[in-house]
Amino acid sequence: MPNASDAASTPAAEQPSGAAPTPAAQPSHAALPSGAAPTPAAAQPSEAAPAPGAASSFRTPSNWLPLGAAALLIVAILVFPSLAPNPYILSTGVIVLNWAVLATAWNFVGGFTGYISLGHGALAGLGGYATGLLVAKADMPSFVALVVAALLVAALAIPIGFAALRVRGASFVIVSIALVLILLLVFQSWSSVTGGSRGLVVPRPFPGMLRPEHHRVFFFLYGGLLLLALLTWWLLDRSRFGMGLKAIREDEDKAESLGTPTFAYKLTVFVISAAFTALAGGLYALWFGDLDPVFQFSVLTGSYIVLMALLGGVRNLFGPLLGALVVGIALEYFKVEFGNSPLHLVTTGLLLGLVVMFMPDGVIPSLTALVQRLRNREASSIREVTAADLAEQRRREQEGVNS
């Protein structure tokens, strides 16, 4: 599990502050030797001991877990089209995979750097429109257009990221929302090129193909793209570059003072994320064949993506995928059951609010913690501590001292 590296680094970072034996830190030190007795380093309760102990206890069972999950995912992608009882279910599968790719692509920025973008729906829309326009107006072959469109969007992401990432946090979110609003405005008004509100019809890549077969092909295409995105995320997670990005997430000032080129890193990962998002959007354009600015540049798309990623857990490789499965299927279900009532806005809002308030780390970490607690009560004292938790803990302690 990608958490293993976090777990290895964070307890070590905790030590300087934990050196003063505060009441909160005491039990974890006391419980450690029993939990990780075999390692000689952990047997003596020195300050550096928890790092190797925590790493080994996390790594052994979870080494095969991502591999198993990946194998399961590949089998599921291969098998689902032949199991789907009718073309509608298959098309739902395509939509859910589309969400999964979008959420995973979002997680390159949101998960690694902690910068939350509400504008990724617009990047997908741009990818879709760029693909559609290249096919419809420039007569490019469909899949060449898809790649060119993704490169174009990635190139456009450089100036956007340049403006959005120079300052911290707040401005990034503002720009990401502004991006959606401005693109909606432009694509609706510039009707001579984009077709405006009448929409843009994208010629199909496989003209003679029957609809169920069309769904099946695109299901596999999306599946391949999802695997590529997951593989890239996994590679980044293990790389030095990924370390730097996670350092930005935990404490951007410290990362910068340690020599991480924070701005270049943030911009690079934003561009990678934009490229994957545009690929998903382009595939959608080729699959669906009809683009409307209202749906392509909707603020809702971005908020669904964020909801999926947060619900599943942004620190996990498969978190966004899991969230996309849950939320994507729920969205389709609600569309069938209740149509397009304004209440689905309320539902989305409530769900997003609940996740942010009570489960900001997502469902996977919550469940993992629960399983850990149930399986081994002593192991629960060694847990992954994020910089956010640490800061909060320190603040509490300080308030306790002050008052």
Partner 1 sequence: MPSGALLFQSIILGLLLGGLYALLAAGLTLYFGIMRVVMIAHSAFLILAAYLAWWTHSRLGIDPLLSMVVTVPLFFGAGVLLQRGLLSRLRPATLTMMSVLITFAIALCIEGLLGYAFSGTQRRIQLGYGTASFDLFGARVAVVKLIAFGLATVSLAALYLLMKRTQFGWALRATIQHRDAARLVGIDTERTAGFGFGLGLATAAIGGTALALDTTIYPSLHWHWIGPLMAIIVVGGLGSVAGAAAAALLLGLAQSLLQIPMGATWAQTVFYVALFATLAVRPQGFFGGRLAQRF
Which positions lie near partner 1, rule CB under 8 A? 114-116, 118, 159, 162-164, 166-171, 173-175, 177-178, 181-182, 185-186, 188-189, 299-300, 303, 306, 310, 341-350, 352-353, 356-357, 360, 386-389, 391-392, 395
The residue among 147 and 388 lying less far from partner 1, judged by its C-beta, is 388
The residue among 138 and 357 lying less far from partner 1, judged by its C-beta, is 357
Smallest distance from the beta carbon of 165 to partner 1, in angstroms?
9
Smallest distance from the beta carbon of 216 to partner 1, in angstroms?
35
Smallest distance from the beta carbon of 167 to partner 1, in angstroms?
4
The residue among 37 and 186 lying less far from partner 1, judged by its C-beta, is 186
Smallest distance from the beta carbon of 326 to partner 1, in angstroms?
17
Smallest distance from the beta carbon of 162 to partner 1, in angstroms?
6
The residue among 159 and 259 lying less far from partner 1, judged by its C-beta, is 159
- Closest to 51 (Cα-Cα) out of 113, 95, 21, 6: 6
The residue among 286 and 331 lying less far from partner 1, judged by its C-beta, is 331
Question: Residue 99: how many CB atoms within 10 A of its CB?
Answer: 25
For helices 319-338 and 299-312, angle between their N-to-C axes, nearest 10 degrees: 130
Report the alpha-carbon distance of residue 322 to residue 104 in Å, rounded.
10
Q: Tell me the three-class secondary structure of the chain, residue by residue.
A: CCHHHHHHHHHHHHHHHHCCCCCCCHHHHHHHHHHCCCCHHHHCCCCCCHHHHHHHHHHHHHCHHHHHHHHHHHHHHHHHHHHCCCHHHHHHHHHHHHHHHHHHHHHHHHHHHCCCCCCHHHHHHHHHHHHHHHHHCCCCCHHHHHHHHHHHHHHHHHHHHHHHHCCCCHHHHHHHHHHHHHHHHHHHHCHHHHCHHHCEECCCCCCCCCHHHHHHHHHHHHHHHHHHHHHHHHHHHHCHHHHHHHHHHHCHHHHHHCCCCHHHHHHHHHHHHHHHHHHHHHHHHHHHCEECHHHHCCHHHHHHHHHHHHHHCCCCCCHHHHHHHHHHHHHHHHHHHHCCCCHHHHHHHHHHHHHHHHCCCCHHHHHHHHHHHHHCCCHHHCCCCCHHHHHHHHHHHHHHHHC
The residue among 25 and 352 lying less far from partner 1, judged by its C-beta, is 352
The residue among 74 and 350 lying less far from partner 1, judged by its C-beta, is 350
Smallest distance from the beta carbon of 346 to partner 1, in angstroms?
4
Smallest distance from the beta carbon of 208 to partner 1, in angstroms?
41
The residue among 64 and 190 lying less far from partner 1, judged by its C-beta, is 190
Smallest distance from the beta carbon of 348 to partner 1, in angstroms?
6
Question: Residue 375: how many CB atoms within 10 A of its CB?
Answer: 10
The residue among 219 and 304 lying less far from partner 1, judged by its C-beta, is 304
Buried b (16+ CB within 10 A) or exposed e, 46-55: eeebbbbbbb
Pairing of strands 290-291, 200-201: antiparallel
The residue among 100 and 310 lying less far from partner 1, judged by its C-beta, is 310
Smallest distance from the beta carbon of 110 to partner 1, in angstroms?
9
Smallest distance from the beta carbon of 242 to partner 1, in angstroms?
19
